[in-house]
Structure 1
Amino acid sequence: MPIDATPDPYADPMVFGQRMQILRTRHGMTRDQLGGLLGRSGSWVKGVETGRLRTPRLEVILRVAELLRVRDLSDLTGDQTTHLPLFTGPGHPRLAAVKAAVDAFPLGASREAPPAEHLAARLARAWSARHSAPNHREVIGALLPGLIRDAQLAVRQADLAATRRAAQARLAEVYSLSQFFIAYQPDAALLWRVVERGLVAAQESEDPHALGIAAWLAAQAHRDAGPNHHDAADAVSLETLRYLEPLLPDAGDDVLAITGALTFEAGYTAARRGESGTAWRYWDQARAMADRLPEDYFHPVTSFSRAIMGAHAVTVAVELHAGGESVRQAAAADAVVIRSRPRRARHRIEEARGYQLDGQPDVALATLAQAHEAAPETIKYNGYAKSIVLEETEAKSPARRRRASALAVRLGLPAA
């Protein structure tokens, strides 16, 4: 038992309600907040937690798991016979090699760092592969260990202040690429090491674009850590925006784009809080920045562009749990013009969430199949997609159960 005498839901035998209460408390969420996100009352949450009400149906359990960001469904249900990772995957085969490169601390240098131009070209190829390959984690997982070691080496061997700042900017970008690989993997400590090192390297670089990217990813990490971290997500986003906005009159497209991406992140966090007006206000501001970019512009890290704003609108509506609005925005968005395969798959998953909220589970499943076609590794590690598929494997419709079960098999999930 932990030192604060709080029972550990991962170790002690407890009923569902007790586990839900402990996990809710650890995420800093009140009963009224959790109930509101579930479309229930705070008294309903209390009834489940105290055992006055029976354990809810599977679709409600999956929604609770989604909101509390549990590592494995058994952590919430207490059923140790079925282990199902939700928001973290089983761990990519290349995770150990990436972790070893991040954790290494070589003080000596037995070789010369590659030229800056060579490292920049390798980074550009890695980003291109990340956006174009259906198995993007496999591709960048193979590239990252060498990139991490060489970028660190370049910083250590830089002999001039300007050279060192440029090397720090590249190192920050390598850590940004690393975060895309590590996200939704079963190593939260590694994720935070990469986030923090990326922020430090970006600050040392004094490069506005590098700072914006590192802050954009840090805000996402904070937001995805749960409601207790939403203020931290806002602090990173808004402080960086205050730094970037005075630079915009003379800035190039990349700085304008990362400012737009960060502006949307502030709206995303507001939507996660349920603050509809604030979320859409930030979305409008981000769209205005996107409209200032060339029509064919595509930010190589964030995918920010004119085309992405439709997808962002779907995300805001889904996070606000507005099913009808989600479907309306999905109809207005054009996923085909999103150049990044993983980002296109993520958009399809957000659309599927909207269709599920709107009571259209057959369309949701069809949309998830499209996500799998675009980027199988994206949907494999996405907890929202897994929740929908698992819920529909117990649907009353035999045809829907068959479709959901077939998709579950493709995702490596236990099918009903």
Structure 2
Amino acid sequence: MSAHATPDPYANPLAFGQRMQILRERRGMTRQVLAGLLGKSVDWVKSVESGRMQAPGIETVYRVAEALRVRELAELTGHGEYKVDLFLGPGHPRLAAVRSAIETRPLGTPTGAPPRPEHLAARLAVAWQARHQSPTHRDKIGALLPDLIRDAQLTVKHAEGPVQWRAAQAVLAETYALAQFFLAYQPDPTLLWRVAERGMVAAEQSDDPHAIGISSWLLAQAHRDTGPSHYDQADDITAQALEYLTPLLPDATDDILAIAGALQFEAGYTAARRGATATAWRRWDTAREMAERLPESYYHPVTSFSQAIMGAHAVTVAVELHHGPESVRQAAHADAATIPSRPRRARHRIEEARGYQLDGQPDVALATLEKAHAAAPETIRYNGYARAIILEQAESKVTHRRRRASELAVEMGLLAA
């Protein structure tokens, strides 16, 4: 290798500062830009890279990794044991308590009578409402989940007879569904998988079509979001759930019809990820027809399926197909104001921003992400697509754009003030 060539940070063990410099230079980033993104001085960056200053603490290492947009900490630290996917969001302060409740199974006899399934169902309804209405929805449901999980497990364990046992399993499955929303995009994917699989088992044991539909919808999402190697599993789960639900649809309640519609769209979402344009839009159209059978004011508390959500779903299909102009066209027709859920409204804004970014409109993308942040800061903070757009524009050569993105990144806690 030439003496002037850029070394490979993986070929030989290198100090943290050397890796930071190599990865910075590969991005074409100056020390001044990196310093600005980190809220540090240029001399601090130079001192770390030259080895005059030791590697910083883990929080600063994470910020460096975000600023350099490396996918895993191991790329920056050189240590395989720090193999952390940076597309995941930060760990929520309530994550440890939720994890403890999930991993600790009740063994003894409760001191008092365990809650009845109908009481737990009422508490779950309150928790879903809190999730939809609060801008800090993860914090709200993170506070409620530990007791809900423990009580739901106890209710199953001490159910009186098969009817109550099946009802308790349905409530436990829905509790795990709520937990999946809390765990999504947090740095503990194995816990998310454990919850998704437990939710599916509880739903199957409940023999409740609504519980089975919800758990199938969430398990299919877990497979889809794992990547292309899991798309077939996602499709299989969706197809099996729809096959099970379809005979029930002629006389179905709104909730059963909604979960079937959500599964139809889920199949379209996965098709869009595959790049199967015709299948994706055909599935979306089928889901839209099912949504039109629901009352105009109806909104499913778990999947958000409704007439109001179909415009947002169309934006998602176009974005996942990487059709920038079509994404923008669909965004113009979708009315975010009709989505009653704050986190779902914020998620829609993020999808719109992805479309504007694809269409070469970064300023509109940033303005749209600001709307997402206003609707639900905890949604955008944990969303990898939003974080990627903001950090990319924080490096823009356009001064006003760089400033706007950096200010939003600071508000979200991605970069130091």
Determine if the TM-score, normalized by the shorter chain, exceeds 0.5: yes
Is residue 393–residue 415 contact of structure 1 (8 Å, CA) maintained in 2? no
Per-residue deviation, 1:144? 0.3
How far apart in 2 are the matches of 1:230 and 1:193? 19
Per-residue deviation, 1:415? 6.5
Per-residue deviation, 1:80? 3.7
How far apart in 1 are the matches of 2:87 and 2:142? 19
1:247 paired residue number: 248
Is residue 346–residue 378 contact of structure 1 (8 Å, CA) maintained in 2? yes
How far apart in 2 are the matches of 1:311 and 1:243? 27
Per-residue deviation, 1:304? 0.4
Q: Deviations over 1:165-194 (max 9, x none)?
A: 111000000000000001111111100110
Is residue 106–residue 153 contact of structure 2 (8 Å, CA) maintained in 1? no
Q: Deviations over 1:179-238 (max 9, x none)?
A: 000111111110011000000000000000000000010011101101111111101111
Per-residue deviation, 1:13? 4.7
Q: Aligned to 1:79, which of 70, 76, 81?
A: 76
1:125 paired residue number: 126
Closer/same/farther in 2, CA of residues 206 and 357 from structure 1, 3 Å limit: same
Is residue 86–residue 386 contact of structure 1 (8 Å, CA) maintained in 2? no
> Which residue identity is paired with 1:325?
E
Is residue 113–residue 153 contact of structure 1 (8 Å, CA) maintained in 2? yes
2:403 paired residue number: 402
How far apart in 2 are the matches of 1:161 and 1:87? 43
2:106 paired residue number: 106
Q: Deviations over 1:275-328 (max 9, x none)?
A: 100000000000000000001000011110001000000000000000000000
2:10 paired residue number: 14
* SS of aligned partner of 1:185: coil
1:212 paired residue number: 213
How far apart in 1 are the matches of 2:285 and 2:73? 38
* SS of aligned partner of 2:135: coil
> Which residue identity is paired with 1:262?
L
Check if 1:90 corresponds to 2:86: no
Is residue 327–residue 352 contact of structure 2 (8 Å, CA) maintained in 1? yes
Is residue 270–residue 276 contact of structure 1 (8 Å, CA) maintained in 2? yes
Q: Percent identity?
A: 67
How far apart in 1 are the matches of 2:415 and 2:120? 42
Number of aligned residue pairs: give it.
353
Per-residue deviation, 1:77? 8.7
- Residue segments in structure 1 that go unaligned for 5+ positions in a row: 1-11, 16-53, 59-71
Closer/same/farther in 2, CA of residues 76 and 113 from structure 1, 3 Å limit: closer
How far apart in 2 are the matches of 1:106 and 1:367? 45
1:298 paired residue number: 299
How far apart in 1 are the matches of 2:233 and 2:28? 34
How far apart in 2 are the matches of 1:155 and 1:209? 18
* SS of aligned partner of 1:91: coil
1:180 paired residue number: 181
> Which residue identity is paired with 1:102?
I
How far apart in 2 are the matches of 1:190 and 1:380? 20
2:357 paired residue number: 356
Per-residue deviation, 1:74? 5.3
Is residue 405–residue 415 contact of structure 1 (8 Å, CA) maintained in 2? no
> Which residue identity is paired with 1:168?
Q
How far apart in 1 are the matches of 2:209 and 2:161? 20
1:344 paired residue number: 345
Question: Which one has a bigger Cα radius of gyration?
Answer: 2
> Which residue identity is paired with 1:365?
L
Is residue 73–residue 85 contact of structure 2 (8 Å, CA) maintained in 1? no
Per-residue deviation, 1:90? 1.9
> Which residue identity is paired with 1:174?
T
How far apart in 2 are the matches of 1:329 and 1:76? 37
Per-residue deviation, 1:240? 0.4
2:45 paired residue number: none
How far apart in 1 are the matches of 2:124 and 2:268? 29
Is residue 348–residue 370 contact of structure 1 (8 Å, CA) maintained in 2? yes
1:9 paired residue number: none
Per-residue deviation, 1:73? 2.1
Q: TM-score, normalised by structure 2?
A: 0.82
Q: CA RMSD in A?
A: 2.0
Matches within 5 A, 1:313-324: 313-324=314-325
Is residue 71–residue 87 contact of structure 2 (8 Å, CA) maintained in 1? no
- Residue segments in structure 2 that go unaligned for 5+ positions in a row: 1-7, 12-24, 30-68
